[in-house]
Chain A
């Protein structure tokens, strides 16, 4: 018979949690975020869900807006920039919170992108509210 492990959840490292307990990540991980960033994450995770995430992003947006490149210069590896400052993003008009908003099908967005091409089938199964199971 295989040797019994003594403990499942405590294998050689500290217990999992997590968001509030280990914001710096596990040993060997990357450099920790700045204190301000951690605080923002804590806010977002303190009220998980669309509203809170939008709020957290909003907290950051003011600072980021000052260093945002123009949309045509945004690269995939760049951090997110608040869309409220640019009309070219189209969408909800609620600024960064709009990242959780639902754009209509065929809606124009950033630099001619169209939005709303995903989500329709999910809405057709709206009885349970989401795509998870």
Chain B
């Protein structure tokens, strides 16, 4: 893997407007950065990203099977007991997953190391699936990249195929916090994929989900039987409607069993299940005496948090804290410190996508900070022969 300069396309703003990339300059800062690119060999992608993604996915499913069988493990992940049954039933039914994203640290030498798994509400999907693909095509067309250049990216076609596979012609509602332009953009993209798969759909704000008797409904009175929610499970369960019987009636994407994998506690349970796995970092619940084995070099992560918030990196006497957003009430894990590779002050995290059960693509965000956050920039990648 290397990071190198890359020529900017002309009329970028018009292009982004044309393709609907509304958050390229979120908060006035450039989020999309094509002045540079990451370059991989095919072997790196296949052996050090795709293969670990497939392997970790299999491990995760094994972990879920283990956790659903144990009240103790569910409690360890701070999942509310009233939801145990819903999780077990969704797993027993094998309620299908649409997608997920493993975030890896990769040093260009050994296997990629799992930093965390965004199993419930991953974003950066549109830029991974579409925006960087347009970038690749444009640079090939302009002769800035060779014709044989490729990208780890079959996200779009796999998303359409997966919707077709899991929806069974059901009417699909998609909900998010619409005030977030990134979340609304993600929903719009997923809705477009669903339409291309032949589904009838409707998008709504999460607050516009209503409760009518035993069922959730939209503002038009339609029952919400099949809901994609870009809204974390732990928030849903904390909300007023989270304990309603309607929660058992609606089928959700991502399904309830994904909540097990959305907790950072899964990193500790994975390590417990597969200690020494080449793609895992040592990780323990903070109240586990084994934490001492990490010494003074670890990342302290809340069991539930978003966008790198409330994370602390401890490296001896040096402590780096991310922005706080009120996470941590459920406890923390400590994970062995794995500094990101430094490219002249930019540090990339590699987001490796799963669609259904298949590795499907790569999105890279880099940052000057040691902790990747929602201020990080998305940088496109290319596979060169």
B316-368 CB contacts (< 8 Å) to partner A = 323-327, 361
Q: Given that A9-B150, A17-B156, A110-B221 are known contacts, is A130 also in contact with B323, CB under 8 Å in the complex? A: no
How far does the alpha carbon of A128 sit from the alpha carbon of B151 in the complex, in Å? Answer: 30
Q: Given that A17-B133, A45-B20, A122-B177 are known contacts, is A77 also in contact with B200, CB under 8 Å in the complex? A: yes
Closest to B45 in A: A8
A-chain residues with CB within 8 Å of residue B126 when the two chains form the complex: 48
How far does the alpha carbon of A91 sit from the alpha carbon of B198 in the complex, in Å? Answer: 30
Contact residues on B (Cβ < 8 Å of other chain), bracket: 35 or more
A-chain residues with CB within 8 Å of residue B17 when the two chains form the complex: 46-47
In the complex, identify which listed stretch (B182-190, B274-282, B284-292) lies at the interface while the others stay far away: B182-190
B-chain residues with CB within 8 Å of residue A83 when the two chains form the complex: 219-220
How far does the alpha carbon of A26 sit from the alpha carbon of B156 in the complex, in Å? Answer: 10
Q: Given that A10-B150, A53-B203, A80-B202 are known contacts, is A132 also in contact with B222, CB under 8 Å in the complex? A: no
Cβ-defined contact, B46 with A115, below 8 A? no
Cβ-defined contact, B156 with A8, below 8 A? no
Cβ-defined contact, A20 with B309, below 8 A? no
Other-chain residue from B185, B195, B219, B325 in contact with A49 (beta carbon distance below 8 A): B185
Whether B240 sits at the interface, judged by CB under 8 Å, is: yes
How far does the alpha carbon of A49 sit from the alpha carbon of B19 in the complex, in Å? Answer: 12
Cβ-defined contact, B220 with A71, below 8 A? yes
A53-80 CB contacts (< 8 Å) to partner B = 53, 71-72, 74-80
CB of A8 to closest CB in B, whole Å: 5
Cβ-defined contact, A48 with B185, below 8 A? yes
Cβ-defined contact, B221 with A49, below 8 A? no
B-chain residues with CB within 8 Å of residue A114 when the two chains form the complex: 210-212
Other-chain residue from A48, A52, A110, A133 in contact with B212 (beta carbon distance below 8 A): A110
Instruction: Give 1 or 0 for each of A36-49: 1 = CB within 8 Å of chain B CB.
Output: 00000100111111
CB of A105 to closest CB in B, whole Å: 7
Instruction: Give 1 or 0 for each of B228-256: 1 = CB within 8 Å of chain A CB.
Output: 00111011101111101000000000000
How far does the alpha carbon of A125 sit from the alpha carbon of B231 in the complex, in Å? Answer: 12
Contact residues on A (Cβ < 8 Å of other chain), bracket: 35 or more
Whether B129 sits at the interface, judged by CB under 8 Å, is: yes
How far does the alpha carbon of A18 sit from the alpha carbon of B184 in the complex, in Å? Answer: 18
CB of A25 to closest CB in B, whole Å: 4
Chain A residues near B (Cβ < 8 Å): 2, 4-11, 13, 15-20, 22-26, 29-30, 33, 41, 44-50, 52-53, 71-72, 74-81, 83, 89-91, 98-103, 105, 109-122, 124-125, 127-133
Q: Beyond the given A74-B221, A118-B241, A130-B176, please list 13 additional residue pairs across the A-B interface where CB-CB is below 8 A.
A: A8-B152, A8-B153, A16-B155, A16-B157, A17-B19, A18-B129, A48-B181, A78-B222, A89-B220, A102-B208, A120-B238, A122-B231, A133-B118
| A-B residue pairs in contact (CB < 8 Å), sample of 26 | A7-B150, A9-B136, A9-B150, A9-B152, A15-B137, A19-B19, A25-B196, A33-B195, A49-B184, A50-B205, A78-B222, A90-B219, A99-B204, A100-B178, A101-B205, A101-B207, A102-B178, A109-B217, A111-B212, A113-B210, A115-B207, A115-B209, A116-B207, A117-B211, A117-B239, A118-B240
Other-chain residue from A10, A44, A128 in contact with B325 (beta carbon distance below 8 A): A128
Other-chain residue from B129, B154, B195, B212 in contact with A113 (beta carbon distance below 8 A): B212
A-chain residues with CB within 8 Å of residue B179 when the two chains form the complex: 50, 102, 129-130
Cβ-defined contact, B309 with A128, below 8 A? yes
Cβ-defined contact, A100 with B306, below 8 A? no
The 7 lowest CB-CB distance pairs between A and B, nearest first, are A130-B180, A16-B156, A132-B123, A117-B241, A30-B198, A113-B210, A121-B235
B-chain residues with CB within 8 Å of residue A48 when the two chains form the complex: 20-22, 126, 181, 184-185, 188-189
Whether B61 sits at the interface, judged by CB under 8 Å, is: no
Other-chain residue from A19, A99, A125, A132 in contact with B327 (beta carbon distance below 8 A): A125
Closest to B210 in A: A113
How far does the alpha carbon of A91 sit from the alpha carbon of B10 in the complex, in Å? Answer: 44
Q: Which of B155, B306, B327 gathers the greatest number of chain A CB atoms within 10 Å?
A: B306
Whether B84 sits at the interface, judged by CB under 8 Å, is: no
CB of A33 to closest CB in B, whole Å: 7
Q: Given that A8-B152, A53-B188 are known contacts, is A117 also in contact with B209, CB under 8 Å in the complex? A: yes
How far does the alpha carbon of A132 sit from the alpha carbon of B235 in the complex, in Å? Answer: 12
Other-chain residue from A5, A18, A102, A111 in contact with B130 (beta carbon distance below 8 A): A18
